[in-house]
C-alpha cells in the first residue's frame, strides 16, 4: 500500500513558541528568587512579579534577563539565564485541536514526520513535553542541529523522500514563509501554511517570491482534514 507522508514544523505550527518562552521565564523566575533573601510567604509573589517583569520586557523588545537582574537587585550573567532557557524541561501540552488532528491523521494511515530547526536539547525537550512520540516515530524527526543543515536546505526534506520512495504524496505544514516552503515546493510537495493567530513569535511575511509561498493557507490545523 502506497503511503502519504505529512511532515510538520514544530514552533508556531504544532505548538506556539510563546508557550515555551513563558515556561522558561517561570523557571528562571524561580531560580532568580533563590538569590534573594525573602520569607517563604513572599517567594510566590516575588516569582510572579519577576515573571511579569521579564514578560513585559519581552513584549517591549527589551532584554528580559537584564530587566530581571535590575528588578531583583542581582547580577546573574545573561548567559546563565540563556542556558536555563534552552535546557529547562518545559511544562507544556498540545492544544485539543492539535491532538485531535494528529490522532485523526495517524488513525487514517498517514505517516507523520517533523522537520524543525533548532538546538537538539531544546527541541527534544519540547517533543517530550508535548508527547509527540505518540504520533511521530523518532526516526521521522529531523532536527537541524542533529541533521547538520537547516531549512530551506533540500536534504532536510529529501530525507523523507528517500525513506519512503514509493509514497504517493508528501505534505509539509509550517508557518515561516522565509524558510518553510521553498525546498518542498521545489521538490513537488504540497505545502500548507498555518496562519498566525496573533501569537507567533516571528511574524509572517508573504511579500516573498512565488517559490517561497505555500500552496494553501489555513487558519487552524483541523482544516488539514479536509485538504489532504
**Positive or negative: CA dihedral 72, 78, 79, 83:** positive
pLDDT confidence of residue 191: 98
Tell me the CATH number for domain 4-15+93-226. 3.40.50.1000
The span from the CA of 178 to the CA of 3, in Å, is 29
The span from the CA of 189 to the CA of 158, in Å, is 10
Task: Give the β-pairing of 190-194 and 216-218.
Answer: parallel
Q: How does pLDDT run across 45-87, given as a tens digit for each residue?
A: 889 999 999 999 999 999 999 999 999 999 999 999 999 999 9
**Residues 171 and 190: beta-carbon distance below 8 Å:** yes
Q: What are phi and psi of 218, to 5 degrees?
A: -130, 155
Give the chain's radius of gyration (CA, Å): 20
39: buried, middle or exposed (CB in 10 Å: 19+, 13-18, 0-12)? exposed
Q: What are the CA-CA distances from residue 146 to residues 20, 120, 138, 177 (Å)?
A: 20, 6, 12, 23
Give every CB contact of residue 157 below 8 A, 6+ residues apart in sequence: 7, 115, 170, 172, 183, 184, 187, 189
Q: What is the pTM of this model?
A: 0.92
pLDDT confidence of residue 203: 87
The span from the CA of 71 to the CA of 66, in Å, is 9
Ranges of the chain whose pLDDT falls below 50: 39
Q: What are the CA-CA distances from residue 43 to residues 29, 51, 197 (Å)?
A: 10, 12, 34
> Domain-by-domain residue ranges, the chain?
4-15+93-226, 18-87
Amino acid at each position: 500500500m502506497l503511503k502519504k507522508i505529512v511532515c510538520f514544523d514544530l514552533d508556531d505550527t504544532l505548538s506556539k513558541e510563546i508557550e515555551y518562552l513563558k515556561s522558561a521565564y517561570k523557571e528562571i523566575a524561580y531560580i532568580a528568587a533563590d538569590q534573594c533573601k525573602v520569607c517563604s510567604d513572599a517567594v510566590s509573589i516575588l516569582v510572579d512579579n519577576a515573571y511579569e517583569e521579564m514578560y513585559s520586557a519581552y513584549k517591549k523588545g527589551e532584554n528580559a534577563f537584564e530587566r530581571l537582574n535590575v528588578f531583583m537587585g542581582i547580577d546573574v550573567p545573561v548567559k546563565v539565564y540563556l542556558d536555563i532557557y534552552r535546557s529547562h524541561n518545559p511544562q507544556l501540552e498540545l492544544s485539543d485541536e492539535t491532538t485531535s488532528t494528529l490522532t485523526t491523521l495517524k488513525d487514517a494511515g498517514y505517516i507523520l514526520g517533523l522537520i524543525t530547526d533548532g538546538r537538539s536539547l531544546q527541541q527534544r525537550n519540547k517533543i517530550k513535553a508535548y508527547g509527540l512520540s505518540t504520533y511521530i516515530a523518532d526516526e521521522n524527526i529531523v532536527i537541524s542541529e542533529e541533521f547538520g543543515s537547516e531549512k530551506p536546505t533540500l536534504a532536510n526534506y529529501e530525507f523523507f523522500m528517500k525513506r519512503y520512495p514509493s509514497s504517493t504524496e508528501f505534505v509539509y505544514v509550517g508557518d515561516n514563509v522565509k524558510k518553510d516552503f521553498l525546498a518542498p515546493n521545489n521538490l513537488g510537495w504540497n505545502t500548507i501554511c498555518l496562519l498566525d493567530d496573533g501569537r507567533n513569535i516571528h511574524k509572517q511575511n508573504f511579500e516573498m517570491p512565488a517559490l517561497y509561498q505555500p500552496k494553501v493557507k489555513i487558519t487552524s490545523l483541523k482544516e488539514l482534514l479536509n485538504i489532504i
